[in-house]
Amino acid sequence: MNNFSDKSSDNETHLEGKKFRLVVRSAEEAVRVIRDKLGDDAKVLSVRQLGGEGLKRFISSPKLEVIAEVPAEEPTTIPQQPETSSPHKSEVKPNSSLSDPEMPKSASKDEEDGVHSYDDNLVLLKRSGFDPILLRDIQSWKQWDEIKNKPFADVLKEITIGLSDRFRSAEEKPTTNRIALLGCTGVGKTTTLCKFLAHEVFMNKSIPSVLKVENGIPNPDDALRIFCEVIGVTLFREADSLPASSHENPLYLDFPGLAMNDLNGWAEAGHVLDSLNVETRVLIVNGAYERDIIQKEIQMARHLKATHIAVTHFDEITNSTKLWPLFLNSSLSPLCICNGQNVTGDFSTNVLNQMISRTFPEELYSRGFSSYKKVIS
The reported pLDDT for the residue numbered 89 is: 36
Closest CA to 172 of 286, 39, 331: 331
Q: Please give the biggest Cα pair distance in the chain.
A: 88
Looking at the DSSP bridge assignments, the partners of residue 336 are: 310
Question: Does the pTM exceed 0.95?
Answer: no
CA 370 to chain centre: 22
The reported pLDDT for the residue numbered 135 is: 94
**Long-range contacts formed by 151-154: CB under 8 A, 24+ apart:** 152/101, 152/102, 152/120, 152/121, 152/124, 153/368, 153/369
- 3-class SS at 109? helix
The reported pLDDT for the residue numbered 355 is: 94
The reported pLDDT for the residue numbered 352 is: 95
Domain limits, the chain = 1-75, 178-359
CATH dotted code for 178-359: 3.40.50.300
Q: Can you give the pLDDT of all 377 residues of the chain as single tens digits?
A: 666 544 344 434 466 777 888 887 766 677 778 778 788 777 776 666 665 443 333 334 567 777 888 777 655 444 444 444 333 333 333 333 344 444 434 334 443 333 334 468 888 888 888 999 999 999 999 999 999 888 888 888 999 999 999 999 988 899 999 999 999 999 999 999 999 999 999 999 999 999 999 876 666 667 888 899 989 999 998 888 898 999 999 999 999 999 999 999 999 999 999 999 999 999 999 999 999 999 999 999 999 999 999 999 999 998 899 999 999 999 999 999 999 888 877 899 999 999 998 888 765 545 545 444 444 44
Closest CA to 325 of 135, 121, 158: 135
